[in-house]
């Protein structure tokens, strides 16, 4: 049960009420932004909350037990307080959103209804939608290792052990031709096609400098390399933009051995029989010699 201040409780029990909702977004960098569905600014919990920002909230419910509560907030990216570039840089990832019920005729009378964490943020038609997760969502996260055939490490992290800065696995490139999420680049001539499939690209110059992207495809087109990104960059890619790219890894045992010679650090279980083995049957062309399923 949420404790309601006596003054606000008395007001809500009256015949006529003057209440509204307020959302305060607290980012990890310390910035706090306030929004309200009221028609004038309100000061709540030390934050000035802006009116008429296009901010709306979905229906939200709070239940007893460990069920995961979720809600959504939606707002216009044209708002000066919320910058598209900040969203794309991840400044709102993991931010805390506080939802208040406020007596707008006396803003000191307010109550914190819920505190949520920003999850997935999507953008469409010039608007953003942020998914909010309650405290119980933390219990839904995977802890520890999972038993699966593919590796659960990321290339270059402390579990993987591969040096991602090794010239064999990374390179500097320059854009020579653009086409939305695909572009031609120079500087990757010494690498064979597909070397950067599933790789990571970081822009080092241009409008997207500092932003990262995932590479879907790497093929050779004449003397240039054609790279296809998973997502279209937030800002246009221009000829001459420079980037740093790291080799891709599909997290399979075969690629870990052949491409990186790093099987000693492989963090999957490729030899563990799966459902395909459990539901298999004896046939004349199968070998049952006790050898590994994955050579």
Q: Give the residue range(s) of CATH 2.40.30.20 domains in the chain.
A: 170-246
pTM of the model: 0.62
Q: Give the residue range(s) of CATH 2.40.10 domains in the chain.
A: 6-140
Average pLDDT over residues 141-166: 87
Q: Which CATH number fits domain 170-246: 3.40.50.1370, 1.10.3720.10, 3.10.20.90, 2.40.30.20?
A: 2.40.30.20
Give me the pLDDT at residue 293, please: 59
8 Å CB contact between 63 and 112: no
For 212-257, how does the pLDDT look when each residue is reduced to its tens digit (9 = 90+)? 899 999 999 888 899 999 888 878 899 999 999 999 999 999 999 9
| Strand order from edge to edge, sheet including 110-124 | 42-44, 47-50, 32-36, 19-26, 96-103, 110-124, 127-133, 70-76, 56-57
Give me the pLDDT at residue 175, please: 94
pLDDT > 70? residue 156: yes
pLDDT > 80? residue 192: yes
- Confidence band for 170, pLDDT divided at 50, 70 and 90: very high
Average pLDDT over residues 102-123: 85
Of 81-85, 100-104, 176-180, give the range with the top mean pLDDT: 100-104
Average pLDDT over residues 160-165: 92
Token pair for 234: 């937030």
Of 77-81, 194-198, 284-288, give the range with the top mean pLDDT: 194-198
Give me the pLDDT at residue 88, please: 73
| Pick from 42-51, 71-80, 84-93: least confident | 71-80
Q: Which CATH number fits domain 6-140: 2.60.120, 2.60.40, 2.40.10, 3.40.1350?
A: 2.40.10
Give me the pLDDT at residue 33, please: 87
């Amino acid at each position: 049960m949420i404790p309601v201040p006596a003054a606000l409780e008395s007001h809500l029990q009256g015949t006529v009420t003057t209440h509204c909702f307020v959302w305060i977004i607290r980012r990890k960098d310390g910035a706090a932004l306030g929004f309200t569905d009221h028609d004038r600014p309100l000061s709540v919990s030390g934050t000035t909350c802006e009116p008429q920002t296009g901010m709306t909230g979905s229906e939200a419910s709070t239940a007893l037990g460990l069920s995961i509560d979720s809600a959504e907030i939606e707002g216009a990216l044209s708002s000066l307080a919320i910058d598209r570039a900040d969203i794309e840089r991840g400044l709102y990832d993991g931010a805390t959103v506080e939802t208040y019920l406020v007596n707008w005729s006396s803003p000191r009378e307010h109550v914190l209804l819920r505190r949520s964490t920003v999850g997935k943020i999507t953008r469409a038609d010039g608007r953003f939608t942020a998914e909010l997760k309650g405290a119980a969502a933390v219990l839904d996260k995977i802890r520890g290792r999972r038993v699966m055939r593919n590796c659960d490490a990321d290339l270059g992290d402390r579990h993987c052990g591969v040096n991602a800065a090794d010239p064999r696995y990374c390179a500097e490139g320059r854009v020579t031709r653009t086409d939305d999420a695909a572009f031609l680049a120079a500087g990757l001539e010494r690498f064979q096609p597909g070397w950067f499939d599933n790789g990571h690209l970081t822009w080092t110059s241009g409008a997207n400098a500092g932003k990262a992207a995932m590479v879907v495809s790497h093929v050779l087109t004449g003397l240039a390399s054609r790279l296809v990104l998973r997502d279209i960059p937030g800002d246009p890619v221009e000829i001459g933009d420079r980037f740093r790219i790291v080799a891709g890894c599909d997290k399979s045992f075969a690629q870990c051995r052949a491409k990186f010679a790093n099987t000693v650090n492989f963090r999957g279980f490729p030899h563990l029989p799966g459902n395909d083995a459990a539901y298999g049957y004896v046939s004349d062309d199968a070998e049952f010699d006790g050898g590994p399923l994955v050579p």
